[in-house]
A = this chain, B = another copy of it.
Amino acid sequence: MLANIRIVLVQTFHPGNIGASARAMKTMGLSDLVLVNPRCFPDPEASRLAAGAEDLIDNARVATSLAEAVEDCVQVVGASARLRSLPLPHYDEPDALARELVQNATTDPVALVFGRERFGLTNDEIRCCSHQVSIPANPDYGILNLSQAVQVLAYETFRAWRRLPENHFQQPRPAGERQPTREQLGHFHDHLSRVMRQSGFLTQPHARTEAQLQALFARARPSRKELSLLRGLLSALEPSSPDD
């Protein structure tokens, strides 16, 4: 599905922006890059800024018009910082766009189109789009750098894709420490209560203090290893008593 989502960069001026956009795409699982009349491509600066995404640069296709770049697509969304000049259907929120784009991409190619650094898309190019999208931004300074705009929309697209249950996406996580059982937690809290009484901090059973501390440790969610550490500390603090 992500393979059906094409990023089209129209007449990009700085080759570095092509590289940075390729990297942004790859971090979000996108791979299909089409360049319409790039000023300077291939270019070492594009490859340098692609960092680990040179494969996208190597596989990028060059088209001579936007119409050619998107002719097989069922949805073509122009990203525009400028107020829309043609009344195309307009997404005010990138997440709304991303959900629809990902749906359409289950069966057919779709495209996200980014215009020139200085002056975006021409009206003729906007006519090649079926929709437009804006990234909500500071009204006083709302112009994202080209590759930053690619990053934000790719991030939203990847999120919409991740959230589809059929993709079974799970972010890799560290194995992490095992969680303690309820019984192990119970032993810890019994130990803590005993130490509090023996130390004279609690002179009589005081359920409220104990409940507060239980809640605090519940929020901290100690692992088994951390619980052992705490019990070791409690043992060390425990006054040695004849019946121990």
Contacts and interface: CB of A to CB of B under 8 A. Distances in A.
Interface string A142-163: 1111011001100100110010
Given A148-B148, A151-B148, A26 B174 contact: no
Contact of A27 (B51, B148, B162): B148
Interface string A43-54: 000000001110
A135 B162 CA distance: 12
How many copies are assembled?
Answer: 2
Interface of A: 20, 23-24, 26-29, 51-53, 83-84, 87, 92, 134-139, 141-145, 147-148, 151-152, 155, 158-159, 162, 171-174, 176-177, 223, 226
Q: Looking at A52, A53, A152, A159, which has the most chain B CB atoms within 10 Å of its CB?
A: A152
A114 to B, nearest CB: 14
A26 B142 CA distance: 8
Contacts of A142: 27
A213 to B, nearest CB: 19
Contacts of A144: 23-24, 27, 151
Nearest to A173: B83
With most chain B CB atoms within 10 A of its CB, the pick from A51, A135, A151 is A151
Contacts of A26: 138, 141
A158 B138 CA distance: 9
Contact of A172 (B139, B141, B143, B151): B139
A28 B29 CA distance: 24
Given A136-B159, A158-B136, A145 B92 contact: no
A48 to B, nearest CB: 12
